[in-house]
Chains A and B, each alone.
Chain A
Amino acid sequence: MEQVAILNVDHLSGGYSRGKPVLHDISFEVGRGEMIGLIGLNGAGKSTTMKHILGLMTPQQGEIRIQGSTLAKETEQYRASLAFVPESPQLYEEMTVREHLEFTARAYNVSQADYEERSAHLIKLFNMGDKEDSLSMHLSKGMKQKVMIMCAFVAAPPLYVIDEPFLGLDPLGIRSLLDFMVQTKESGSSILLSSHILSTIENYCDRFIVLHKGKVIIQGTLEQIREQTGQQNVPLEQIFYDLVQDGL
């Protein structure tokens, strides 16, 4: 598949204060129809990278483009091009599951017909049929996470930024999510996924970006990473362990 970049992160440096950047000259791309695993230890800079992509933080240096547009110049186009699943579910207590999906669909200008079709499919897929009229405050943590995931998928933008999506999900939920991410990717959308469950994402992601202390220390397909590290037939988890151990 020809890799047309949906997301371009170009020499990004940034952080919470100017004197102390958390990210140092990070560059990577996410191609159309690609699922990319962003991996690293706690504090490596994964969430900060995502916050920059989401526009919640302003880069100190470098540029981020989604389908060629930047947040500063084409704000609405940029925002409409991505959906986000946060690590901790953030829902409106006063809205039901269905209303969250509807609010997202309205915001992303999804037609009513598409919304009905997608929401029905997602509610069934994630086994939330008996909870669709429940207020979010009455849901378990795993169910809240499912709502976050469903909201992102009901929007159906070209790019998904997904931070630790498996936390709190039951095994069926994890399987449903993985299957749906594969379908989404095959339909041409792109996914930037952060997770610590390397044994799971090893089989699903096309490429991996390893962040360590705010820098990209290696990136590529699993085979390319194996070649670069000289570790053939070794699982991703072991390679990652060796990489960050060396760099600690």
Chain B
Amino acid sequence: MNDLLKLRQQRQQAFWGEVLPYLRYVMQSGLAIVTFFLLIVFAAWYTTFLQNVPQGLPVHWILLILFTPLAIYGSVRTYMRTADIVFMLPLEVRMREYFAPAWRSSVIGKTIWLLILALVAFPFYVRADMNAKSLSLLVIVLIIAKLLGSYGSWQELRMNTAAARVGYRLLRYVLIIGLLAAFLWLPLMTALIAVVVIALVYIVLLRIPGKASVPWERLIATEKNHAAGVMRLLGWFVDVPNGERKVSHRRWLSFVGNRVPWVPAKSFRFLVSKTLVRGELLPILIRFVIIGVVFVLITRESWFGIVVYLLFILLAGMQMTSLRKQHTDTLWLSIYPIPPESQRLETVKLITQTQVWITLLLWLPLASAGDPVRMILTFIAGLVAVWLYRRSLNRKWLKDIEAEAEFD
């Protein structure tokens, strides 16, 4: 127990030992082929795009939107467990040994993804911007942004008050976006001075709020969310055990579900509507739709735009399948007099309705460009994709029910 470094390694191995067997099924589900196909389609489109980059593209805005999420996102996998608050508390002064490798591997892993993105985007940058800065400078600034983002988010976890955590999270978003924007928009020397000043000011500001040496409960809760996130991602493709769920009140959405008809057959709809608006799925979907709209906007002039549009509709559906697994093991659904098929019917209905809204939102960038016939046909194709997805979801669910009944 005293060998903290080894303990973390053991926990990391145990977690991935649990996850890796599922990856085989994920690959078998066709993900590998789809990813490969999409990479080829993207490479073909991007090569053509680079040969003739349209004039007047908002290159700085596009790069800022591409780099910001990866630069800001600074999660650290600690693999901490609930019992740690009892058994590891006496080792609090030594916990740095436990956290240091976690922080290091997180920063390195995420920086690699950011740099891959930079390498892919750079050819576009130099063609679209006459005054583009060098690749080496771009890489250095992105690494600085990533380090600041990760360090900042770790310090936020340690802050004592919720107000400080929220305030500093906003500050991190603003300063990192400001840092990237300064680098992209300003002349070289001014940009570099701005980057250094922003970084120094941020580091100084992070020293102000009171912090816990180890924020045990928050670290454990955050780790549960990360683990659940991985399981949720796998859950798009295979049946995995339900992890811990993060819930937010979102009072402004409390009305959702209240107008569901007052009959036992619809009562599950009441529950699953609350699950949708208060769980982690809603912010994921919102972020997903925003990214989708940006991608559709960028690619809407070519046929690739239609592929992107349909892909985002299907991926949104896949994300929402997690709703199916949220209540599989709840005691009350086995005891309450709710018709057994209502869980499937109401979940599928909610997923379809939400997917139709997403289809409409993703279509808006297409609606303002191109010829009207293509525009309308694309929307119809989107609705057909929703219908096909609904059919496949229903079929798979019924098949699983039959398999379970046979097993019983």
Contact = CB atoms under 8 A, between A and B. Distances in A.
A84 B338 CA distance: 15
A107 B279 contact: no
B54 interface: no
A76 B275 contact: no
Contacts of A183: none
Interface stretch (A11-19, A90-98, A188-196): A90-98
A79 interface: yes
Contacts of B338: 107
Nearest to B408: A58
B339 A112 contact: no
Interface stretch (B93-101, B109-117, B120-128, B258-266): B258-266
B336 to A, nearest CB: 4
A232 interface: no
Contacts of A80: 337
Contacts of B249: 135
B86 to A, nearest CB: 18
A99 interface: yes
Q: How large is the interface on A (under 10, 10 to 19, 20 to 34, 35 or more residues)?
A: 20 to 34
Q: Which among B263, B264, B270, B337 has the greatest number of chain A C-beta atoms within 10 A?
A: B337
Interface string B134-151: 000000000000000000
B271 interface: yes
B330 interface: yes
B332 interface: yes
Contact of A103 (B247, B267, B279, B331): B267
A64 to B, nearest CB: 14
Contacts of B334: 54-56
A45 B275 CA distance: 35
Given A56-B334, A95-B274, A108-B336, A135 B263 contact: no
Contact of A109 (B260, B264, B332): B264
Given A84-B335, A108-B264, A93 B247 contact: yes
A29 interface: no
B337 A94 contact: no
B267 A106 contact: yes
Given A76-B339, A79-B335, A107-B337, A94 B267 contact: no
B331 A79 contact: no
Interface in B323-364: 330-332, 334-339
Nearest to B275: A94
Interface string B217-253: 0000000000000000000000000000101010000
Q: How large is the interface on B (under 10, 10 to 19, 20 to 34, 35 or more residues)?
A: 20 to 34
Nearest to A77: B337
Contacts, number: 67
Contacts of A137: 247
B274 A92 contact: yes
A79 B337 contact: yes
A102 B267 CA distance: 9
Contacts of A90: 330-332
B264 A107 contact: yes
Contacts of B332: 90, 92, 107
Contacts of A96: 254
Contact of A79 (B245, B270, B336): B336
Contacts of A127: none
A109 B274 contact: no
Interface in B270-294: 270-271, 274-275, 278-279
Contacts of B245: 93-94
B244 to A, nearest CB: 9
A47 interface: no
A173 interface: no
Contacts of A54: 334-335
A109 B338 CA distance: 10
A95 B271 contact: yes
Contacts of B262: 106, 112
A243 B279 CA distance: 50
A104 interface: yes
A198 B339 CA distance: 38
Contacts of B247: 93-94, 135, 137
A29 to B, nearest CB: 21
Interface string A57-95: 000000000000000000010011010101000101111
A56 B270 CA distance: 24
Contacts of A109: 263-264, 337
A79 B260 CA distance: 22
Contact of B270 (A86, A93, A103, A108): A103
A86 B332 CA distance: 10
A116 B309 CA distance: 46
Nearest to A109: B264
Nearest to B326: A94
A42 B126 CA distance: 74
Contacts of A55: 334-335
Contacts of B279: 94
Contact of A107 (B254, B267, B278, B331): B267
25 contacts: A54-B335, A76-B337, A79-B336, A80-B337, A82-B335, A86-B331, A90-B330, A92-B275, A92-B330, A92-B332, A93-B247, A94-B245, A94-B278, A102-B270, A103-B270, A106-B262, A106-B264, A106-B266, A106-B267, A106-B270, A107-B264, A107-B332, A108-B336, A109-B263, A135-B278
Interface of B: 245, 247, 249, 254, 260, 262-264, 266-267, 270-271, 274-275, 278-279, 330-332, 334-339
Given A92-B332, A103-B271, 11 more contacts: A54-B334, A55-B334, A56-B331, A86-B331, A90-B331, A93-B247, A94-B274, A99-B274, A102-B270, A106-B270, A107-B332
Shortest beta-carbon contacts, A-B, top 6: A106-B267, A79-B337, A94-B278, A80-B337, A107-B336, A107-B267
